[in-house]
């Protein structure tokens, strides 16, 4: 089938593109390269360098006529969203609406919308957080991602545009952007590789805990969502939390280093603990994570070593 991937030069989107092409699909990429990298682009994909807010996006849809849109393009920096919520809303809400309007005009069959299980639930009242957990985002990023979920639902009801929402946990792996929520992995590997001392942030009553899911597993969820999970919001994670100290210990084991970290105070407003229930992903997509943290860290470190070399 023909799939248009927005954000297809980014960390996660580019891995999705590679897999779709390997599976024999025809792939079109739309990316403005603001955070995506030209070096991530698969040469077998047709590339349109464009912001998803651009009115000229209509010409791309008219020309390409995709069957499915996999919407990864987003403003994904939580801290920037707090500092500039207007910019966050322009990209994550108005940009999405431009994609959805053109999807309807071009008779796209389905949109896969990438949301955030790490942001829409806010500070969870129960763990692991399942898809029926109360939605209480505490950042503009979480607010715009949940707003996006409501818009894709509207377009299904009114315009019969099918969708699947994938609520990602903290995705990590090769090509990782160190500025994202899971970017701490790339930061730790980079610092340890340079002989620097990493910092572990803590709260007064304990440590941050996150759900780290490997990008290769996330790709498999996107492939499954091409034909499954219609009209459903689905968590994509591992079902378990990892503290920052445990993460650093695992990274050090992978790197073969032993460095005593510095400790600092977490920033106010950041979620303390979150990890996702993934039973719905098994039922709706036939998906479960296959890569454990040790394996994923090895692949990530190896990629960073090769890039440095």
How many domains does the chain contain in total?
2
Q: In three state form, how does the secondary structure of 205-255 look? A: CEECEECEEEHHHHHHHHHHHCCCCCCEEEEECCCCCEEHHHHHHHHHHHH
Structure pTM?
0.96
Instruction: Using the predicted structure, report yes or no on whether residue 183 has a pLDDT greater than 90.
Output: no
257 and 161 belong to one structural domain: no
Say if residue 118's pLDDT is above 60: yes
Alpha carbons 188 and 16: distance in angstroms, whole number: 25
* Same domain flag for 75 and 156: yes
Do 148 and 257 fall into the same domain?
no
Instruction: Quickly state the pLDDT bin for 185 (edges 50, 70, 90).
Output: very high
Domain co-membership, 137 together with 193: no
pLDDT digits (tens, 9 = 90+) for 1-11: 999 999 999 99
Starting at the earlier edge strand, list the strands of the sheet with 68-71.
46-49, 26-31, 2-6, 68-71, 110-116, 162-168, 232-236
The pLDDT, as a whole number, for residue 63 is 98
Q: Which two tokens stand for residue 83?
A: 């500092």
pLDDT in tens, 73-117: 999 888 889 999 999 999 999 999 999 999 999 999 999 999 999
pLDDT attached to residue 204 = 67
Rounded distance between C-alpha atoms, residue 245 and residue 198, angstroms: 11
Helix (H, G, I), strand (E, B) or coil at 21: helix
Q: For residue 303, is pLDDT > 90?
A: yes
Nearest to 288 by CA among 230, 252, 247, 235: 235
Separation of alpha carbons 182 and 244, rounded Å: 11
pLDDT for 22-52, tens place per residue? 999 999 999 999 999 999 999 999 999 999 9
**Structural domain that includes position 118:** 2-168+215-237+279-285
Same domain? 220 vs 253: no
Domain shared by 102 and 200, yes or no? no
Round to whole Å and give the CA distance between 88 and 214: 26
Q: Is residue 1 packed enough to be buried (19+ CB in 10 Å), middle (13-18) or exposed (0-12)? A: middle
- pLDDT-derived band at 207, boundaries 50, 70, 90: confident
Same domain, residue pair 101 and 205: no
Mean pLDDT is lowest, of 71-85, 149-163, 201-215, 287-301, for: 201-215
Q: Specify whether 263 is located in the same domain as 120.
A: no
Is 156 found in the same domain as 297? no
Percent of the chain predicted with pLDDT > 70: 97
Assess whether 194 and 55 both reside in one domain. no
Which residue from 170, 211, 172, 171 is spatially nearest to 304, judged by alpha carbons? Answer: 172
Would you please indicate which residues are annotated as catalytic (active-site) residues?
141
Q: What is the CATH number of the domain that holds 259?
A: 3.90.25.10
Instruction: Give me the CATH number covering residue 224.
Output: 3.40.50.720
Verify that 192 and 176 share a domain, yes or no: yes
Q: Are residues 271 and 183 in the same domain?
A: yes
């Amino acid at each position: 089938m023909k799939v248009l991937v927005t954000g297809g030069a980014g960390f996660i989107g580019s891995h999705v593109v590679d897999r779709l092409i390997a599976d024999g699909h025809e792939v079109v990429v739309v990316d403005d390269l603001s955070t995506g990298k030209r070096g991530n682009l698969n040469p077998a994909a047709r590339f349109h360098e464009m912001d998803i807010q651009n009115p000229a996006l209509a010409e791309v849809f008219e020309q390409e006529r995709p069957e499915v849109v996999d919407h990864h393009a987003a403003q994904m920096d939580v801290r920037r969203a707090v500092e500039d919520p207007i910019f966050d809303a322009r990209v994550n809400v108005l940009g999405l609406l431009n994609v959805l309007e053109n999807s309807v005009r071009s008779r796209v069959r389905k949109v896969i919308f990438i949301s955030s299980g790490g942001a829409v639930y806010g500070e969870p009242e129960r763990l692991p957080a399942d898809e029926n957990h109360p939605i209480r985002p505490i950042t503009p990023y979480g607010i715009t991602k949940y707003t996006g979920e409501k818009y894709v639902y509207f377009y299904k009801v009114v315009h019969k545009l099918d969708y699947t929402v994938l609520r990602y946990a903290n995705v990590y792996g090769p090509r990782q952007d160190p500025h994202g929520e899971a970017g701490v992995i790339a930061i730790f590997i980079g610092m340890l590789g340079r002989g620097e001392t990493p910092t572990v942030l803590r709260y007064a009553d304990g440590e941050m805990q996150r759900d780290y899911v490997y990008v290769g597993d996330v790709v498999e969820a996107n492939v499954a969502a091409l034909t499954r999970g219609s009209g459903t919001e689905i968590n994509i994670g591992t079902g378990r939390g990892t503290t920052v100290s445990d993460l650093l210990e695992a990274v050090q084991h992978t790197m073969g280093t032993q460095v005593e970290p510095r400790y600092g105070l977490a920033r106010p407003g950041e979620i303390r603990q979150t990890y996702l229930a993934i039973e719905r992903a098994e039922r709706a997509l036939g998906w479960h994570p296959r890569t454990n943290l040790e394996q994923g860290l090895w692949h990530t470190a190896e990629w960073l070593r090769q890039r440095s070399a």
